[in-house]
Amino acid sequence: MKTIKYGLMVILFLAAQSVWAHTLHVKIHYVGPTEGSTWLGLQQGLDEANLQGEFLGQEYEIVPITLAAAETAHINTALLIALSVEDILAVAALPHLAEVPIINVQSKADSLRTACMPNLLHTPVSNKMQQDALAQWLAKEPDSKAQPQGWHHTFRKFAASQLNGRFKKSHNVDMDDNAWASWAAVKVLSDTVARLKDSEASVVLPFLRNEIAFDGQKGVGSTFRETGQLRQILLLVEEDKIVAEAPIRGTTGGLDSLGLVSCTK
């Protein structure tokens, strides 16, 4: 009996050593504030990526760097960014980052989407997406005072309640638009690395652009448009309660009825 138990211990030890020896270490670089809801969303995404990574031999790290450092840094996997429109466009245009996914995790500016830069992606909803969602809702409920949002702490469908619960438990605040968008950026990257078993930026970027169908707890397999925008539903919120989801039922075009769909240069 002791011999059998000893043999099992040796097998488990060797298996653990094998996993450790082949662990894929993934560094996700980040330029932006290291406090507030965007930062908390990144931390939530990181915790969940590492929880998943324990079973896949993957280990994740978020590496904050300065804007100046981004101009020369070697980015292995992706760069998440929460800066001004001008700074985001300048970073995405750097020649050494041409094949690196640059993910805007905070700005809703339409000008970032119309720029149509091949390495620039966006997880937050855009201003135009919000405008379109509101117009659809007001066509049905003209007296409503609802406002369109990318996320809300009372959203419960599609496992959203579990995500809201995890975030609240970890950070003792409600998940908001910025927190969801930054969590989603880490999640979409960790999902991609899990599927590819590769974290090289030049491999990750085309997969994000052409292959990913991301489950962001919004009930659809979200994909990135030609503009770099992540397709997703919006929530119409009135008096801190969700009153509808956009696209509003009956609207043609589905998710592509919200915001700029293609590049118009």
Which burial class, exposed, middle or buried, applies to 137 when counting CB atoms under 10 A from its CB (0-12, 13-18, 19+)?
Answer: buried
| Mean confidence (pLDDT) of the chain | 92
From the list 42, 72, 74, 73, the residue with the least C-alpha distance to 60 is: 42
DSSP secondary structure string, 1-20?
-HHHHHHHHHHHHHHHHHHH
% of the chain residues with pLDDT over 90: 88
Query: How does pLDDT run across 166-212, given as a tens digit for each residue?
Result: 999 999 999 999 999 999 999 999 999 999 999 999 999 999 999 88
CB 35: neighbour CB atoms within 10 A? 7
Query: In this structure, what DSSP letter does residue 248 have?
Result: P
Residue in the block written with tokens 């769909």: 261
CB 148: neighbour CB atoms within 10 A? 23
d(CA 254, CA 136): 12
The ranges assigned to domains in the chain are 24-257
Tell me the longest C-alpha to C-alpha distance in the chain: 77
pTM beyond cutoff 0.75: yes
Q: Which CATH number fits domain 24-257: 3.90.180.10, 3.40.718.10, 3.40.50.2300, 1.10.287.130?
A: 3.40.50.2300
Q: Is the pLDDT of residue 11 over 50?
A: no
Query: How does pLDDT run across 58-75, given as a tens digit for each residue?
Result: 999 999 999 999 999 999
